[in-house]
Chain A
Amino acid sequence: MSDHRIPKRIYYLIFATLLLFTMITVEVAFYDLGILSFPVALGIACFKSTLVILYFMHVRYSSGLTGLFVSAGFIFLAILLVFTLLDVKTRDWQFQPDESGISLVVPF
């Protein structure tokens, strides 16, 4: 744990920012942004989680080693996503709904 003292106003500022972006998340959900819907929602979530990690979890004021471990978590998350998507995006089959509305596995 770093000895760095963080002023209370920083915590309040981050808290207010998180509340603001939560409201933005809700507001954006009422608009149809097409293919941008997902990237926008994900972008807001990433921004908010970055604030939490940097300030509430003190990573900004911690050693480089702590930063390395935090980064490692995200690198391995990226590995999980990339290899899973490698499978999902290159499958020669997919789920399709039939008349009853139940999804079925349909080979091409």
Chain B
Amino acid sequence: MSNTVAVASHPEPDNNYWTAGYGLKSWLLTTDHKRIAILYLIMISVFFVIGGLFAVLIRLELLTPAGDLVSSDTYNKLFTLHGLVMIFFFLIPSIPAVMGNFLIPIMIGARDLAFPRINLLSWYVFAIGGMTTFAVVLFGGVDTGWTFYTPYSSTYSKTAVGLTAIGVFITGFSSILTGLNFVVTIHKMRAPGLTWFRLPLFVWAHYATSLIMLIGTPVVAITILLVFLERVFGVGIFDPALGGDPVLFQHLFWFYSHPAVYIMILPSMGVISEVVACFSRKRIFGYGFVAFSSLAIAVLGFLIWGHHMFTSGQSILAGMVFSILTMLVAIPSAVKVFNWTATMYKGSISFETPMIYVFGFLGLFTVGGLTGLFLGALGLDVHVHDTYFVVAHFHYIMVGGAIMGYLAALHFWWPKITGKLYSEAWAKLSAIIIFIGFNLTFFPQFLVGYLGMPRRYHVYPDEFQIFHILSTAGASILAIGYAFPAFYLIWSLFRGEAAPANPWNAKGLEWTVPSPPPKHNFDTIPVVKEEAYDYSRLEEEVV
């Protein structure tokens, strides 16, 4: 970046949020949205490493057809903890809690979120939930899968299901508090002139995400609490032996957990909109359609949960209805992908690191989305249900989509967050390694899944080994790719060149404040007089 963007250096302001207070107490009791974002960043990075270590052990075990590294019970615990940590403690909070917390107030011209203390509370709740779930490892782990399917979880599992349930239950409140804060902030604290249709699409995406958090999270929290009640007190809700219905659990669980996929991917889509517009030097094509497609995804996402249950004993009629509705959610997703592509058409495209991640996102999300349509088709899903085809599909969405978006965001706004520039060469190399490693890891899983390899087994027929060797080799490359940013980003904190206020020459209120931003963002609240992404005007000004 420092090599490609020539701008005047900007003196570091004395009152930026990093230097506004010193000592642990100034961080742990802060109500500054930017500092809370940093607290989240540190915590989710730790969880990402922990979840990644579980993945490493899984992939090493699967190198050979025999179960020779860990026992079956340990393997069950490994994939359960990998899923739990990655979903509840990394993917769901990643972009909203880090980037959303940091950027939304600045993007809308506000000095903080609507409820700063609740924002800090959400981090503490997240930390307590995380520590509780981490304690599960010390108590021997949990083996139900991240999906907690009953009656195994509520009656038969001998592992620490109750403690895990408490951890996830607590963490859910963190998500609710963050969603509440975002909705109120976006409604009430926009700068003068910043109408809904002048908002950055990052903000629209987070608004839609917050609606899902508010509406869906209470359902999964109560559902997991019901599992706890049945397990501890024998209240018959899901176990047929107690008069319950195990399929009811799946309805309640997936009512949240399918929309949760959109909690992970919608913020990422918001990031893509910002980065595509900046590095194509164009206003987003079809701004209104992209904005409303976020809301459409949020709403339609609540109508399709039954496609996870085609083989569960759900009725054929319900299966058919859910299958048809599943096809509908492809429409707003496709609207976004086509509109980003149309934005790039005849744009002045440059290939800085965030844009490389965007290209990665577009390819991987498209593959993940299209294979999602395969799985939404009732007849085909019965064939590939619970195989590695499903594992590959959701990793293309969650890793290929959500994490690519997260890394794009991290690289795009890193100079703004830290006031430092990173090495563009290392960053580009890392992005390419991640793309190659990801595909080598997960594409073979489509093939081995289609051939019949079930998920969640560590012993498998010999003929599947070549696919697992490829996958493990890819995971090794992917791990190296993920390790690179940890080094060059941290290095940039100490040795990086000072970042100017607007290193990418980008549009948006966050680029009008110094890097890093002052404690209260704006001395005077800005008045917005132009559309979002008005790059044509910016280009004219530069000329």
A102 an interface residue at 8 Å Cβ cutoff? yes
How many interface residues does A have (CB within 8 Å)? 22
Output the residue of A76, A79, A87, A91 with the most chain B CB within 10 A: A87
For the complex, give the distance between the alpha carbons of A80 and B305 in Å.
10
Contact B321 A73 (CB under 8 A): no
A72 CB contact (under 8 Å) in B215, B247, B317: B215
Distance in angstroms from A88 CB to nearest chain B CB is: 8
Q: At the interface, yes or no: A103 with Cβ under 8 Å from chain B?
A: yes
Q: Mark B265-308, 1 if CB is under 8 A from A, else 0.
A: 00000000000000000000000000000000000001101100
Tell yes or no: B111 within 8 A of A by CB. Answer: no
Q: Shortest Cβ distance from A98 into chain B, in angstroms?
A: 11
> Which of A72, A83, A89, A92 has the most C-beta atoms of chain B within 10 angstroms of its own C-beta?
A83
Contact indicator B215/A87 (Cβ below 8 Å): no
- CB pair B302 A90 closer than 8 Å: no
Cβ distance A54 to chain B, nearest Cβ, rounded Å: 20
Q: Does B251 contact A (CB under 8 A)?
A: yes
CB distance from B321 to the nearest CB of A (A): 7
Chain A min CB distance to B330 (Å): 19
Hey, which chain A residues are within 8 Å of B211, CB to CB?
72
Q: Which residues of B contact A80 (CB under 8 A)?
A: 219, 251-252, 255
Q: Are B306 and A79 in contact (CB under 8 A)?
A: no
Contact of B303 among A65, A83, A84 (CB under 8 A): A83
Is residue A105 contacting chain B, with contact meaning CB distance below 8 A? yes
Residue of A nearest to B247 (CB): A87
B25 close to chain A: CB less than 8 A: no
Q: Are A76 and B240 in contact (CB under 8 A)?
A: no
Q: Which of B214, B216, B241 contacts A103 (CB 8 A)?
A: B241
Asked if residues A87 and B314 are in contact (CB atoms below 8 Å), the reply is yes
Residues of A within 8 A of B243 (CB): 95, 103
Whether A83 contacts B315 by the Cβ 8 Å rule is no
Do residues B303 and A86 form an inter-chain contact, with CB atoms below 8 A?
no
Residues of A within 8 A of B255 (CB): 80
- Which residues of B sit under 8 angstroms from A47, Cβ to Cβ? none
Write the nearest CB–CB distance from B203 to chain A, whole angstroms. 17
For the complex, what is the distance from the CA of A65 to the CA of B188, rounded to whole Å? Answer: 11
B46 CB–A CB distance under 8 Å:
no
Distance in angstroms between the alpha carbons of A95 and B252 in the assembled complex: 19
Does chain B have a CB within 8 A of A104? yes
B492 to chain A, nearest CB (A): 42
Indicate if A11 sits at the interface (CB-CB under 8 A).
no
Establish whether residues A79 and B187, one from each chain, have CB atoms under 8 Å apart when the complex forms.
no
Considering the chains assembled together, what is the distance between the CA atoms of A79 and B219 in angstroms? 12
- Chain B neighbourhood of A90, CB < 8 A: 315-318
Give the complex CA separation of A88 and B216 in angstroms: 21
Partner of B306, one of A76, A83, A95: A83
User: Is B313 engaged at the interface, CB distance under 8 Å to the other chain?
Assistant: yes
What is the minimal beta-carbon distance from A108 to any residue of chain B, in angstroms? 12
CB of A91 within 8 A of CB of B313, answer yes
Output the least CB separation between A78 and chain B (Å). Answer: 11
- Do B240 and A104 touch (CB < 8 A)? yes
B313 in contact with A79 (CB, 8 Å): no
A-B contact pairs, 7 of them (CB 8 A): A72-B211, A79-B302, A80-B255, A90-B316, A90-B318, A103-B243, A105-B240
> Which A residues lie at the B interface, using CB under 8 A?
65, 69, 72-73, 76, 79-80, 83-84, 86-93, 95, 102-105
A-B contacts besides A69-B183, A84-B248, 11 pairs, CB < 8 Å: A65-B187, A72-B215, A80-B219, A80-B251, A83-B305, A84-B251, A86-B315, A86-B318, A92-B316, A103-B241, A105-B313
The 10 A-B residue pairs whose C-beta atoms are closest, nearest first, are A87-B318, A90-B315, A90-B317, A91-B315, A103-B240, A84-B251, A76-B215, A87-B314, A86-B318, A87-B315
